[in-house]
Amino acid sequence: MSAWSMPPELFADVIEEDIDNTARGFALTCYRNIILASPVDTGRFRASHIVSVNEPYYTVTVAGSMMIDLSPEQLIEFARRAVNVKHKGKLRSIYIQTNVPYAEALENGHSKQASAGVYGPAFNAAVVKYS
């Protein structure tokens, strides 16, 4: 019989923090993949992806010219800020979504720029990276 060298309650916070860091990294990898794979005509679709923590956000974003004109790196930085807000004491759920009405058609290959969709391939690539 082996004994713990340290009681589990002393390192539970470290494990929770490691899980949270991995979840945030995975979410940001997914988001980056989504942004980079989004077909761009006016830029509205690329700017419509929402990152929220602990609750999904169901409003359809009306991306003004300011958001549409942001570079992929700037959009990713907004997402990074959203997931890096500290939520002490509990693990969090991170949601990535778009609520524009034509998103489902794009996910189903309607665009020649993203014939395999956007969200599915972005998630699958992140799974490969984190496997």
pTM for the whole thing?
0.85
Q: Where are the domains of the chain?
A: 10-130
Worst-scoring range by mean pLDDT, 14-18, 88-92, 125-129? Answer: 88-92
What is the overall mean pLDDT for the chain?
87
CA atoms within 13 A on the CB side of 78: 14
Mode of pairing for the β-strands spanning 94-97 and 50-53: antiparallel
Q: Using 50, 70 and 90 to split pLDDT, how confident is the model at 17?
A: confident
How much is the pLDDT for 12? Answer: 77
DSSP 8-state code for residue 111: S
The four Cα atoms 124, 92, 73, 106 give a dihedral, to 10 degrees, of 50
How far is 129 from 66, CA to CA, in rounded Å? Answer: 32
How much is the pLDDT for 13? Answer: 76
How far is 76 from 78, CA to CA, in rounded Å? Answer: 5
Q: Each residue of 6-15: pLDDT tens digit?
A: 777 777 777 8
Q: Each residue of 34-76: pLDDT tens digit?
A: 999 999 988 889 989 999 998 898 877 655 555 677 889 999 9
How far is 101 from 95, CA to CA, in rounded Å? Answer: 18
Worst-scoring range by mean pLDDT, 27-31, 55-59, 96-100, 117-121? Answer: 55-59
